[in-house]
A = this chain, B = another copy of it.
């Protein structure tokens, strides 16, 4: 599809060094962290500015060339996989934090900045950007916007969408727009900013981001609580909120997952009780240490109603980091252990026990193994599946049937397919289980309005039919 003339014009825009055509260079851009899927693009471009991206898009729009925008490739739904071939636009060179506006508590950044780098940069100024996916050490902030990422802090502080004030976006035809203004309140026309957030790179390519920041809380306290009964642990979650507490993190990890990650990291600093069913990780943050300690003690007392076992308080930064490292690397560890399929279900918080019960029943019925972990405080449960019959099984018919039943349960509980990973390539077939055809038709119309030639990350989230 891409003749030499076209490749030459792309080279002219981004330079020879930023134009990859060799198979060994391109291979990396053919997958992300989703299972074991690989589709190679024809060409990878690494532009250095919004204008270069606009010029690339103008050509691709004219010649109807498929384009897949790519952040750090840490996605879990195949959003960055170039399954139609064509051009991958890697955002890795747009990697500068443009300005930290301490007066207005905002940061302006390019999309190719690693999330943790951004968090640390604003932290140095006493400011806080809360959304922190487990991959924060490697993912890009631009990818977080594409997927509307969450992470452990979302339970108190909200997800990415709650921090995005304004975006510079290259539209599929090469026009550059700003979606909003750098203000805290905005009722000036349709919310294009929120339409781009979570649109998985299908409506435009984000080239500049204005994020809201908040004052950094001075203290946090962190507790690990073990439970012999998974149901009880999940019931404890909503009880904490009903008692009026808002933890800054409330995570659940099943014991099998915790054992796998603990072995992988060869970590012994955190006392994990192997003969339990699950652990809750509970964090509180704020500006008054005594108050936080009092609240954590009250929560510990409340957990006794749910047959809590041992409680472990992380005493210092080293212990806190160790515990968070365990939590953050669960997904990677269980994937390596053969749990290759990851689901990102979300339900209203109080229905988490029913969801977990349903998962375990489905696993028994369909003969697969499932471990559960995730952002329990948000009702956002990650389910990792190991299927003894196949390792590349997201498309296997028996697995599709099992996942279909899982998602029907999720829908029945008032939830949906994805809380923070997006739909991308691999979940789109399940969209009709959780929304009406009318919703999909509206989404298609919106896609068409932005991208009449259907070139930008086409075939992600839904097919145009």
Interface residues of A (CB under 8 A from B): 101-106, 126, 147-150, 154-155, 158-159, 161-162, 171, 175, 177-192, 194-195, 197-199, 203, 214-216, 238, 241-242, 244-246, 287-288, 291, 344, 346-351, 375, 378-380, 411, 414-423, 431, 434-436, 438-440, 442-443, 445-446, 448-450, 461-462
| Given A161-B194, A190-B199, A214-B246, residue A154 in contact with residue B443 (CB < 8 A) | no
The residue from B194, B418, B450 contacting A188, defined by CB atoms under 8 A apart: B418
Across the two chains, which residue of chain B brings its CB closest to A149? Answer: B187
Give the distance to chain B from A444, nearest Cβ to Cβ, in Å. 9
Contact A446 B443 (CB under 8 A): no
Contacting A186 at CB < 8 Å: which of B126, B178, B346?
B346
| Cα distance A371–B380 in the bound complex, in angstroms | 48
Which of A104, A155, A214, A450 has the most chain B CB atoms closer than 10 A to its own CB? A104
CB-CB under 8 A from A242, the residues of chain B are 102-103, 105
A414-B349 contact, Cβ under 8 Å, with A104-B238, A288-B291, A419-B187: no
Not counting A187-B344, A244-B287, a sample of 20 additional A-B residue pairs whose C-beta atoms are within 8 angstroms of each other reads A101-B348, A147-B187, A178-B436, A181-B411, A182-B414, A183-B378, A184-B346, A184-B349, A185-B378, A187-B419, A187-B421, A188-B435, A190-B442, A190-B443, A191-B197, A192-B439, A194-B195, A216-B244, A291-B291, A445-B449
User: Would you list 22 pairs from A and B whose C-beta atoms are within 8 A, ordered by A residue?
Assistant: A104-B238, A104-B349, A148-B185, A148-B187, A149-B187, A159-B185, A178-B439, A181-B346, A181-B414, A183-B348, A184-B349, A185-B380, A187-B420, A187-B421, A188-B434, A189-B431, A190-B195, A190-B203, A194-B194, A215-B245, A216-B244, A288-B288
Q: With both chains docked as a complex, state the minimum distance between the C-beta of A328 and any C-beta of chain B, in angstroms.
A: 18
Min CB distance A168 to B, Å, is 11
Taking CB atoms, residues of chain B closer than 8 Å to A436 are: 177-178
Q: Given the complex, which residues of B lie within 8 Å of A287, measured CB to CB?
A: 244, 291
In the complex, chain B residues whose CB is within 8 Å of the CB of A380: 183-185
Interface pair B183/A346, CB less than 8 Å apart: yes
The residue among A182, A184, A199, A214 with the most chain B CB atoms within 10 A of its own CB is A184
Query: Chain A at the B interface: mostly helix, strand, loop or mixed?
Result: loop
> Are B194 and A419 touching (Cβ within 8 A)?
no
A442 touching B449 in the complex, CB below 8 Å, given contacts A186-B346, A198-B187, A414-B181: yes
Specify which chain B residues have a CB less than 8 angstroms from the CB of A155 in the assembled complex. 184
Query: A375 to chain B: which residues have CB within 8 Å?
Result: 185
Chain B residues near A186 (CB-CB < 8 A): 148, 198, 346, 416, 418-419
Q: Which residues of B contact A182 (CB under 8 A)?
A: 348, 414-415
A379 touches B184 (CB 8 A): yes
Q: Are A238 and B177 in contact (CB under 8 A)?
A: no
Chain B, Cβ-Cβ closest to A430: B188
Complex Cα distance, B182 from A347, in Å, reads 8
Instruction: Give CA–CA (A439, B445) in the complex, Å.
Output: 16
Contact A462 B189 (CB under 8 A): yes
